[in-house]
Structure 1
Amino acid sequence: MSDGVIDLGELRHERDPEELPRPPRSVGRPLRVALVFLVVLATVVSAAPLPRREMVALPAALGAEARIADDLYLVVEPTGLNGSQRRLDAYRLPGGELLWQVPLPVQGRYWGMSMQDGMLLIAGYEATAGDPPGTVTIALDPATGKFRWQQPGSPLPVSGGGLLLETGDEEQGRTLRVVDSCCGRVRWQAQTPGGQFTFRATESGIDRLVQSTADGRVEVRDASTGAVRAEADLWNPTDRRETGAPTDGPEFGVQVIGDLLLTLAGRPATVTAYDLDGLRLRWRTELGEAFYASECGPVLCFQGRSEELQAIDPATGRRLWTGRGWIAWSSRDGLVATRANSGGAMQLDVLDPVTGAVRGELGRWEMVPPSGLDGPVIGIRPQPGGGLLVAELNLTTGTARPLDVLREATGECQSIGYQLACRKPTGGYGLWQLRP
């Protein structure tokens, strides 16, 4: 499947079988009648149209934002003379029945809709006259649409419960605030100076927050309590001998992956790894060109601007392999890579994270955002003559299993298990039950 075409088979015209001895008349006539019946039956079956895939129509006006959160289909509709006001419509899935409609209390553009601890969270940009727009989060009762609370910032779930809301920027500093999902009550908040901000995300939510300043001060906080777990001047000249801080350079970045805090500095890049909670030096390595790191299963991936991908052993910093022209990311089932600058539907391959060997070539697919972590990985691509070819992508073996062809779908798809909601050419969305 290196050319990205899924072989669904082809029709062949077989040669007529060799002529058999003519049977007795008493046998031949019933046999000929049976053969004629089978031919007629086969003709009728082949001429019958394929059954149309049942679709539930989901409305969405032009310019509306539509998202799926659990079993709700949510549409933010522009209203008012200039479209700045917004109304939220909620439909129950899979039937598509309208549950409620409510006006949103803040003008602006909304882009985030999610369910957290039984609360429906709507996030977007708050429009303020004369000032740059800020972010805002509104919590609603998912059963009724009733307003619960509102806070500045966009929400991120915190391990152990609650939501992190961050406002501000790298130049002016930030306000970090963790609130209860139920009612917006503030658990803790802190003001941080200007500089970089990052965090560690786990399956249960964010558990560490990291703030770093231009003069080298790094602070690690517990996201649940706000307590400072570690702090150090990692690249202050007076601390270099102790911490093994990187050489000063024109670029500097801080990232958190697993239990490591990584600093990238200079050109060529020097990568230094520290224990996240203790900020003790673990290792340092020169990577030539690297400007960001990502988790690639059991290895660390470093991406360079020249489309060079380098895999590093997180325990020692030893380089394991290098690939050209790849952009890679980790999935729950394996390491997925796409050709750099592939554009549109991506050429997807599955790599062995330890060796870099290609395990399988999936071909060109656009991966559909799933509504949960446990559902199938769905890929789509345009079908000749219109519509979308839909397949289930196996990111362990690197194979694609065709599921359906949706003639009335154009894109902008979201999946809920083996259900797929996609934009229709006539407007709105459709919800299709795929063949599992």
Structure 2
Amino acid sequence: MADESVEINTITCSAAISACEKCGQWRAALDLLTDMHSAAVDRNTISFSAAISACEKAGEWQVALDLLHSLLDASVPADTISCNSAISACAKAGAWTMSLAILDCMQVEHIKRDTITYNAACSACGKSGRWELVLSLLDDAASWGVRRDTITYSSAISACEKGGQWALALFLFQQMLDEKLKSDAIAQTAAISACQQSGQWHLALELLRAVHSASLRLDAIMCTAAVDACSKGGRYDLALALLSEMSTSSIRSTAVTFNTAVSALSPHQWADALGLLVKMAASQVDGDTFTYNAAISSCETRKGGQWAVALDLLKAMAKAAVESDIVTYSSLISACEGAQRWREALALELRMRQVRVAENAFTQSATISACEKAQKWAEALRCLGAMVSSIDRPSEIEAFSAATGAESRLVAFNAALRATASSPRPALLVPKVLQAIGGCLMSPDTLTFE
């Protein structure tokens, strides 16, 4: 109920709508605007702008657009503030086409476009991956004499980085500095991420040094991007050094940071992988499936590598309640195969079934190979039979052939021959053998009975 001591007019209603906007009450703002119309109170640019701004802050971009249309239909002159609010609302929703439509409308209606206008439009296009449009807006702003600020450049750099245009992102970053604009965290992170995508590790490190020299705050996101850039550039030594520097500089590493560093390690660097896991624990950062899988993979070599360490990591996963997956077991069985640890390979297949991780052609093939290398022909044939019995679709037969290959099928065939020789009813095994080798033709010189 209206207070009789307060005059209901455009000014008081506009003030009330502005109050609703500041409090995030967009529905109340709309109700007041509707009540103004019902009470024949003139609605002006300020009242509409406040209501549009309230919708923008609430993420109600379609309602904001409807209000902008209502403003124009009511012959109320739109201004820069109302249009900027509508563009910002579209930007939050990634509705870049509507943002550009409003921008064009502003030009037609001779409404002044300012830095905020272009920043909002760049943000809308950038979030939708339209980096080429962001660059066009950047040029358009310059041609109209609109000042481009740090936010403008940050949006453009981020859009180019997300679009995989790392060279353009770095060019814009340098151009921003040339214009004496102070870079912000968004621009710095996007520029370093651009280096990350392209493997330009030296540039990533230079940017980190520049940020540090300018007394700007380094954060985990920037450093993680630099670590990844070093990893992709094959400089895992620098990746590990940067991780240590983060700890020294009191920059808290995240699981993503450690995962990036672990994945950079080559198979013979299992000790470094374990060291990173220890650092994670000391930093109170929980490892996830990716972390452990990368560490297990570093224990894997053609000769088996540190298969025992890999199995210990599986135990550590279970203790930490980290879920294992097909990647985990593929790496483990492969390590056991290389070391001719057939018992462990069979035990891992059993464990996969216990924890409900589906076997595939690669894990089964590696287990068969482990048994063959240890001359455990009966076990190899049993695994082969299980593998064949699980194939019931043409696509799976193709996957089996791709996984085993001609060489592994020869191994399987030899295993079958050795096992059938001691079987009381060898004829029963022949169909499985023929199906398993997929019609692979064997010449006499390919058969071995060592």
Q: TM above 0.5, one fold?
A: no
Which has a greater percent of helix? 2
Query: Normalised by the size of structure 1, how large is the TM-score?
Result: 0.26
Higher radius of gyration, 1 or 2: 2
TM-score (norm 2): 0.25
